[in-house]
Chain A
Amino acid sequence: MAVLDRTRPPDSGVVVRDLTLAYGSTVVQHELSFHVRPASIFVIMGVSGCGKSTLLRHMIDLEQAAQGDITFDGQRLWTENVAERRALQRRIGVLFQSTALWSSMTVGENVGLPLQLHTRLSAAEIRDQVAFKLALVGLAGQESRMPSELSGGMQKRAGLARAIALDPDYLFLDEPSAGLDPITSQRLDSLIMNLRDALQLSVIAVTHELPSIFTIADDSIYLDNESRRAIAHGDPRALADNAEHARVRAFLNRQSLDASTRAEGDGPEFPARSEVL
């Protein structure tokens, strides 16, 4: 697939270093470190309550971490320079779990609002951009419909169109397939991969949907909710067979862990959950 000619610095992609997530004194995840390569799809996986969405909220600057750092193409996310921070935020697109489409606006207005606020494009060009972004996600001609008139899958795609409205370099997806039927979910997965290829996006997806994980992930990290650490990192297809920790293998093979399996190969011991900083 062809590549848009965007210049990227040598330390391109998203780099997370020693990130510790905490709410008050309760630690959600300890010392996370990973690298999201440019134009790849990176999946953050784990069971419910392990801190996947919390990590995503930190990566898109909705929360600030207790410790650690995140850089986008070498630029620090939590810089003191407000202008730099705003500029970086513009390079990030987000599809929220609930889609978070503004219910009082039409689909076209939802996609067009970021362009109105952040660009100096003429109204006619914004109209063209909106039509194009909606066509990219398969919603051509749906500009005048209200979000409440769309099905769940269409709302997800409308949210995706809004997320790519500003031609971001990084696309964050929070549970993109949640609540969708398998066919719609599969189409959404194809769309995400097509957008990655066509727009050369670095996609960071939070999900625990196994079919999606195996379909879209180039790389992944598994957040463990018992040790509160990332206990696996790599291609999920390989991790399903070769992961060091039984919990990761069980998750990726959709098996329940009984006591014997745990004793057999649960990997190194980690501190108990909810450790206090």
Chain B
Amino acid sequence: MPQSASHSRLYRIESRNGAAALVLGGDWGGASRLPTSQRLVAELVAARGDSEAPITIEGHDLESAHPRVAALVYAVSQGLHSREIAVAFTGLPASVSSLVALARPPAADAASGRRAHWLTRLGVAGRNRMEAFARAAEMVGNAFVATPRLSVGKAQARWVDFMALLRETGASSLPVVTIVNLLIGAVLGFVGAVQLAAFGAGLYLADLVGIAVAREMAAIMTAFIMAGRIGATFAAHLATMEANEEIDALRMIGVSPFEFLVLPRLTALTLMMPLLFLYAAALGIGGGMIVADLVLDTSPASFLGRLQDAVAARHFVIGFVKAVCFGILIALASCYLGMRAGRNAAEVGRAATRTVVVSIIGIIVIDAIFALCTNALGV
């Protein structure tokens, strides 16, 4: 006598003389929620008990042969097979049977989803870090070796690309550099003016703005802009080239990707960054001068006169050298991360983001090192 273990229009589990059966019925196309395969497998195993007989999946009562039936039958039979329980089909619509027959179970060695032991993962991660460090060091080394070749015109680079990069990093960056540095100078001037005026020392605003802009702000703000604008562009461009196998194609025609792609970018940014710094410093000081005129009634002539006394050339030299270092950092980071990106669309975006993050952190670190060194040297 069949023993009903579950009452449902869509399925029921029966136990017949120790042999369990899954009896499917009703219209599966219209059902909003179906039983999960894990649940059915668990119920079937419980109904089977200690019996060695195969579990039967019956479909006599099905009103439609919706594809969902085939998916569930396959999942249940796979779940039972994984527990080494034999399965027999009876009364299933022919279309369901043919679909289930077409589905091929996983290969015995398919262990792709299994995670490796944590020690293995740690070792692999450590090795990957070491390799990444070695590749980064190799790129820095290449920069030292190849730059002289570019300067004597022996590098495998195209002048037309180099000139385009100079325009992209230099002239095309002027509008955003202008806006940001003018406003930074003005903000610095305004904050300083309010505080200094309280002590009757408004004239010294030129000292504050001049030293802060020349020594720190112009170089840092310009570097941030270039990291976001140029660094991300370089990384995304090179990552796309990597994804499209364009870099491999360069290697195959005997062209060094470093000389052809990295060197022009490195040189262009290293040349343009200090020039942009000088431009940014002038604008920052100009912003402070405008505020001094408006808030403190300090004439531009008085401001510039005080500036000449207060800001020594060494402050500009420090900012200038920093700008060169920032340019090298942004170019190498963007090219390195772009060329090491994976070969898919997501990696392109990731390379651009990483470049900006790495560049910003690097800029702050380099600035801190400069601060320590100049302090120690008393400059």
Contact = CB atoms under 8 A, between A and B. Distances in A.
Interface of A: 1-5, 103-104, 120-122, 124-125, 128-129, 131-133, 135-136, 138, 140-145, 147-149, 167, 194-195, 197-200
Interface in B87-120: 93-95, 97-99, 102-107, 110, 112-113
Interface in B116-157: none
B321 to A, nearest CB: 41
15 contacts: A125-B33, A125-B72, A128-B72, A128-B74, A131-B74, A132-B71, A132-B74, A132-B103, A135-B105, A140-B104, A140-B105, A144-B113, A145-B113, A148-B342, A195-B102
A148 B112 contact: no
Given A129-B71, A131-B78, A194 B102 contact: yes
Contact of A132 (B75, B97, B98): B75
A205 to B, nearest CB: 19
Given A4-B67, A5-B64, A122-B33, A104 B99 contact: no
A90 to B, nearest CB: 14
A2 B343 contact: no
Interface residues of B, number: 38
A104 B70 CA distance: 29
A149 B97 CA distance: 32
7 smallest A-B Cβ distances: which pairs? A2-B94, A141-B106, A103-B344, A104-B346, A135-B103, A141-B110, A124-B36
Contacts of A200: 95
A199 B34 contact: no
A141 B93 CA distance: 26
Given A104-B344, A124-B38, 13 more contacts: A2-B93, A5-B93, A103-B344, A122-B36, A125-B72, A128-B71, A135-B105, A135-B106, A136-B99, A136-B103, A140-B106, A140-B110, A194-B102
Interface in B216-240: none
B32 interface: yes
Given A120-B32, A132-B103, A141-B112, A199 B67 contact: yes
A2 B98 contact: yes
With most chain B CB atoms within 10 A of its CB, the pick from A121, A128, A140 is A128
Interface in B268-300: none
Contacts of B106: 135, 140-141
